Every structure is written in structure tokens, then in C-alpha cells.
């Protein structure tokens, strides 16, 4: 999410989600912290513009329109369709009007004149923006690669970039995802060859797992199915919805008679069907995850199945993806995944394409965006090699303001720009300390001791009640149980009325660490009678 401000007017570009790291326990996803915007009452937000329809660019829309009801959305047809599905599912479609534009259109949003231009990525209908300001033109690349043989035939808009360059580019903000990868990202069309090989050799059914929003990949599966005489079935709600919408928009051109309802696949021979499924990230509850553990109601995995994972593994998901692949192999399927065959290519530019974009636009200032700091640094190094000096390159973390005026551009103040955790229906109600507690509980569990104590003598009225979860089986370890009771007695006898709980918890913590080298959370409930 990026905000462009001009005096008291602003526009927002993209509003995506981030996936939680493995140690962000219980977090479903992360949205940007836009507190700065809600607090700037003087600022008028004229619109939310989207570059493309992937989750890391549109996933937070539902939350954003709740914070800023009435602010219109601007998006290309497919992106608008994907956002529409999303807002409708959340019953929020009335909060914002979606305005559709086409790549190449110039959009007037408040005082901003924004020139959209087509870029290639792994989903159709992607754009970058040229944002005109009184101090010069800002070019925002969106997510891009220079794919010279794109599957939909729509080539990168080199002409527009050259025109920007001719007019003079003040600032280039460019996608840094693959900045540590040398060379040039392969074209999406190499996947056609890989699919050809898979479809030619498959003896039984073929299942292709990919992102629900990877419309161009779905298109490629459709074309391969047509070439090899297979019907397409779809498993997974989000994928079905997206396919329906993209076909209605005419973006996905697969004829009706190519599709087959999932419930009818057993009525035709196994080698005449291809099934599109969700779950290529190893998510246990998506279709592929349920197939791997035998928990899907309509589908199973068979000996002759060929299963293709046609997607990039999001960092942090490697373990669950590998586990899913292993389970599918165990069930007898043949599994085709990235190093085995070129069934996926990145949607992001590599170093040579990055150099090309920098040299094509020839910006005065440069700001690597969309990547971890290691990617931003690597991207800045490429820019330096193209002659953009360090002092005109801005490597900043979320929340930093870049200011510009007639004297040039510079890094300004920092505003809140961190993460907001979404867990269940709660947005931002868990913070680092709840996560830390979850981490402690995850590592060593907890033990709880309930004591009934005579308020006068301070002595136990009956045996302590002990509950533990995630620590050890106390039932199976009577010796440890005896030691726990001993520690409680020790703590109690060293305590007075005021410090009973502390003394018992200290005594218990020390003993448990000595015996087990673990530090469970300890709770004591004391009932004085």
C-alpha cells in the first residue's frame, strides 16, 4: 500500500495482505497499519487505485473500505472483478463504487492525473502508473516482468515507458522481488511446453494445483486440455468463483463445452479429464491438502494420477508444501513440481529486466519497493550501476515519508507503518505480547496448580489439583507429579500470607527446570478458606 499526497489531497495505490511468518502464532494474515490516514482528518482521499488482482495487492480492500467508506476504487476489468467478488462475499459492496479503467487510460482522481500502462505479470490486466505531480512524473512499476512472449499476446508497453522517459521521470518506484536473481525471468509461455510434456505422458487423470487468482495459468491449463482432448473440472470455491467471473468478463476464453462438473468426472475415462485445484501452498484445508490426507468429499488420489504443482512456494510454506508432495507420492500419484519440470515461472522481473526498466525510464530519483530489505539493497545496487547515485536512492521501511518539492526529493519523517494482525474476526487486537505468550505456550505448554489453603494456618486443606497442557503427560510420570507436589509444599512452607503465590510459582519453576530443562507457564490459584 502506497499513499501519494499533494497538499491536502491523496490517493492510495494497492492495499494488500501479507502472510504471517511461522512464528506469528495464530495470525491469519497481516494488513498495513493505516492509522496515519485515519488520524489525518485534513486529508481528502480521492480514490484507491489498484495495479492488479493478487492478494498481496488487493487482499486488504475489505478492511480499507470499512475505514474509508465512500472512497471510490479504480481498477482494470479483471482486478475490479476480483475485488468485486471479495467485497460481495464480505457484504461490503455498498461501501465503495468500483470504477473500471483499461490499461492505457489516464485517470483523473482529485488533483492527480494518473496514466496507466500495461505491464506483464502472472495475472492478466496488470498495470503500472505514471503519476503526474507539479514537481515531475512518478512512475510506479506495479508487479512486472518484461515478458516478450506473454500467453495473452499483450506485450509490455515499452512505448509508454519510453515516452515517460522523454518527458522526464522524477522518481521510479520499482518491484524488487527478484533483485537478488541474475538474468531474465523466463516467459510464461515456457510453461506451455512443460504442460505439453505432462499432458502427453499422463496415463490417468491430471490435477493442476495453482493460486485461485492465477488466471493466466488457468488459461494455459485450458489450452493444454483443448490440445489433448481433456475436459476441465474445478475443485475449490474461490477458484470456481474467479473462473466464472473471468469468463463473464471475456478474459478467460474457454468454451462452455470444455468444462465438466466435478461430480461428473467419473462418467468419462480418466485420461480425458484435468482437474484444477486450490492448495498449492500446502494449506491443509484447501483441496490439495485434503486430497493428500484423504479428507476430500468428492475427490481421491489414485495410482495413475498426475498432480502438477504450478505455483511458487511462498517463503515459510516450504515445509507444508513438501509434506503435501510426499503424501501425494505415498498415495501413489506422480507429482510434478518445480525442479522436476518448468511448470512454474516467476511473475517478477530479474536483474536484467530491472536494469532495462531503470535505463528505459532514466529516473532522477529511485525507490526500490516490494521486497525485503535484502531485495531493496540489491535493487539499489543495480540502480547505482546504471548511474543513480546513493543519495538519490531511497531504501526505506514501511512508514517512511518521501518528500518532494521544487528543490528535489528526500526522506522525511516516519509515521506508523507497521503490521496489523488479523486473527479470526479480530483486527489488531493481538499484539507482540500475546504472540510472545503463544510462543511460550507453544514451546513448553503450561501447568496450573489449584490450592485450597486454610486462611489462618496457611496449610493445605486438601491435596493440590494439578492441570497441565502441552508440557508432559503428568499422568504417565508419577515421579514428576510427586516432585510437583513437593515443590508446592516447599513454596508454601517458605511463604507468608502476602507472597504465597509468588513463592509457590518460584519453587515450582525452579524444580521443573531442574528436572526437565523446560519452562512451562505456571499459574497458581489459591482458595483461602
Residues engaged in binding a copy of itself (CB under 8 A): 21-23, 25-26, 180-182, 315-316, 318-319, 322-323, 325-326, 329-330, 335, 337, 339-340, 372-374, 377-378, 423-426, 429-431, 433-434, 437-446, 448, 450, 452, 465, 467, 469-473, 476-477, 515-518, 521, 523, 525, 527, 529
Residues pairing with 116 in the sheet: 129
CB 175 → a copy of itself: shortest distance, Å?
17
- What is the enclosing helix (H) or strand (E) of 127? strand 126-133
Under 8 Å CB-to-CB from 337, ≥6 apart: which residues? 308, 309, 325, 343
Q: Which of 393, 396, 364 is nearest to 380 (CA)?
A: 393
Give the span between the Cα atoms of 353 and 355, in whole angstroms: 5
444: phi then psi, degrees, rounded to nearest 5? -130, 5
How many beta carbons lie within 10 A of that of residue 513, not counting itself? 13
CB 214 → a copy of itself: shortest distance, Å?
22
Comparing CB distances to a copy of itself, the nearer of 270 and 437 is 437
Comparing CB distances to a copy of itself, the nearer of 33 and 423 is 423
Q: What does 336-350 look like in DSSP terms, one character per residue?
A: E-TTTS-----SS--
CB 39 → a copy of itself: shortest distance, Å?
19
Strand segments, DSSP code E, in 356-407 are 365-369, 400-405
Comparing CB distances to a copy of itself, the nearer of 82 and 280 is 280
Comparing CB distances to a copy of itself, the nearer of 48 and 307 is 307
Comparing CB distances to a copy of itself, the nearer of 111 and 316 is 316
Whole-number CA gyration radius for the chain: 28
Comparing CB distances to a copy of itself, the nearer of 35 and 44 is 35
Give the span between the Cα atoms of 446 and 472, in whole angstroms: 9
Are 122 and 217 in contact by the 8 Å Cβ rule? The answer is yes
Burial class (CB in 10 A: 0-12, 13-18, 19+), 226: middle
CB 444 → a copy of itself: shortest distance, Å?
6
CB 319 → a copy of itself: shortest distance, Å?
5
CB 399 → a copy of itself: shortest distance, Å?
14
- What is the enclosing helix (H) or strand (E) of 233? strand 231-235
Q: Which of 241, 239, 221, 240 is nearest to 231 (CA)?
A: 221
CB 112 → a copy of itself: shortest distance, Å?
33
Alpha-carbon torsion 201, 204, 205, 207, what sign? Answer: negative
DSSP-derived letter for residue 245 is: H
Comparing CB distances to a copy of itself, the nearer of 131 and 336 is 336
CB 83 → a copy of itself: shortest distance, Å?
23
Comparing CB distances to a copy of itself, the nearer of 93 and 180 is 180
Comparing CB distances to a copy of itself, the nearer of 90 and 434 is 434
Give the span between the Cα atoms of 110 and 93, in whole angstroms: 22
516: phi then psi, degrees, rounded to nearest 5? -125, -10
CB 26 → a copy of itself: shortest distance, Å?
4
CB 102 → a copy of itself: shortest distance, Å?
37
CB 384 → a copy of itself: shortest distance, Å?
13
Strand segments, DSSP code E, in 1-67 are 2-6, 9-13, 29-32, 44-49
Give the span between the Cα atoms of 474 and 445, in whole angstroms: 12
Give the span between the Cα atoms of 84 and 97, in whole angstroms: 10
Are 49 and 57 in contact by the 8 Å Cβ rule? The answer is no
Residues pairing with 4 in the sheet: 11
Comparing CB distances to a copy of itself, the nearer of 66 and 440 is 440
Comparing CB distances to a copy of itself, the nearer of 274 and 328 is 328
CB 525 → a copy of itself: shortest distance, Å?
5
Under 8 Å CB-to-CB from 197, ≥6 apart: which residues? 341
Q: Is 155 helix (H, G, I), strand (E, B) or coil?
A: coil
Comparing CB distances to a copy of itself, the nearer of 130 and 282 is 282
Amino acid at each position: 500500500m502506497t499513499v501519494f499526497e499533494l497538499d491536502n489531497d491523496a490517493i492510495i495505490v494497492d492495499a494488500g495482505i501479507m502472510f504471517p511468518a511461522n512464528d506469528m502464532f495464530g495470525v491469519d494474515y497481516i494488513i498495513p497499519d493505516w492509522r496515519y490516514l485515519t488520524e489525518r482528518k485534513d486529508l481528502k482521499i480521492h480514490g484507491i487505485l489498484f495495479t492488479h488482482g493478487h492478494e498481496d495487492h488487493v487482499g486488504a480492500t475489505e478492511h480499507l473500505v470499512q475505514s474509508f467508506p465512500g472512497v471510490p476504487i479504480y481498477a482494470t476489468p479483471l482486478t475490479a472483478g476480483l475485488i468485486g467478488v471479495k467485497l460481495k462475499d464480505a457484504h461490503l459492496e455498498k461501501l465503495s463504487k468500483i470504477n473500471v479503467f483499461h490499461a492505457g487510460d489516464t485517470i483523473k482522481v482529485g488533483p492527480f492525473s494518473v496514466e496507466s500502462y500495461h505491464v506483464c505479470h502472472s495475472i492478466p490486466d496488470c498495470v503500472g502508473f505514471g503519476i503526474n505531480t507539479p514537481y515531475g512524473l512518478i512512475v510506479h512499476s506495479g508487479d512486472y516482468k518484461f515478458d516478450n512472449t506473454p500467453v495473452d499476446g499483450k506485450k509490455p508497453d515499452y512505448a509508454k515507458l519510453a515516452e515517460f522517459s522523454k518527458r522526464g521521470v522524477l522518481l521510479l518506484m520499482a518491484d524488487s522481488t527478484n533483485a537478488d536473481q541474475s538474468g531474465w525471468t523466463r516467459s510464461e509461455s515456457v510453461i506451455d511446453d512443460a504442460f505439453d510434456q505432462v499432458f502427453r505422458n499422463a496415463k490417468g487423470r491430471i490435477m493442476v494445483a495453482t493460486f485461485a487468482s492465477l488466471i493466466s495459468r488457468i488459461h494455459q491449463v485450458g489450452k493444454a486440455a483443448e490440445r489433448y482432448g481433456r475436459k476441465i473440472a474445478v475443485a475449490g470455491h474461490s477458484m470456481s468463483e474467479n473462473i466464472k467471473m473471468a469468463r463473464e468478463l471475456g478474459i478467460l476464453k474457454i468454451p462452455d463445452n470444455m468444462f465438466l462438473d466435478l461430480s461428473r468426472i467419473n462418467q468419462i475415462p480418466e485420461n480425458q479429464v484435468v482437474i484444477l485445484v486450490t492448495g498449492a501452498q500446502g494449506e491443509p484445508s484447501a483441496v490439495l491438502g485434503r486430497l493428500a490426507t484423504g479428507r476430500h468429499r468428492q475427490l481421491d488420489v489414485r495410482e495413475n494420477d498426475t498432480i502438477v504443482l504450478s505455483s511458487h512456494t511462498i517463503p515459510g510454506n516450504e515445509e507444508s508444501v513438501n509434506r503435501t508432495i510426499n503424501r501425494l507420492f505415498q498415495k501413489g500419484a506422480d507429482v510434478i513440481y518445480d525442479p522436476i519440470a518448468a511448470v512454474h515461472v516467476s511473475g517478477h522481473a530479474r536483474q536484467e529486466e530491472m536494469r532495462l526498466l531503470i535505463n528505459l525510464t532514466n529516473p532522477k530519483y529511485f525507490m526500490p519497493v516490494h521486497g525485503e530489505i535484502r531485495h531493496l539493497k540489491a535493487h539499489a545496487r543495480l540502480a547505482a550501476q546504471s548511474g543513480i547515485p546513493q543519495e538519490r536512492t531511497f531504501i526505506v521501511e514501511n512508514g517512511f515519508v518521501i518528500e518532494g518539492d521544487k528543490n528535489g526529493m528526500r526522506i522525511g519523517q516516519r509515521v506508523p507503518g507497521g503490521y496489523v494482525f488479523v486473527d479470526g474476526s479480530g483486527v489488531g487486537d493481538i499484539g507482540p505480547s500475546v504472540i510472545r505468550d503463544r510462543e511460550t505456550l507453544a514451546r513448553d505448554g503450561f501447568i496450573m496448580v489449584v490450592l485450597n489453603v486454610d486462611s489462618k494456618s496457611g496449610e493445605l486443606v486438601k491435596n493440590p489439583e494439578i492441570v497441565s497442557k502441552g508440557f508432559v503427560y503428568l499422568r504417565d510420570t508419577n515421579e514428576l507429579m510427586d516432585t510437583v507436589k513437593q515443590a508446592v509444599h516447599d513454596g508454601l512452607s517458605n511463604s507468608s500470607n502476602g507472597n504465597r503465590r509468588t513463592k509457590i510459582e518460584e519453587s515450582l519453576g525452579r524444580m521443573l527446570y531442574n528436572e526437565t530443562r523446560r519452562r512451562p507457564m505456571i499459574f497458581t490459584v489459591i482458595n483461602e478458606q
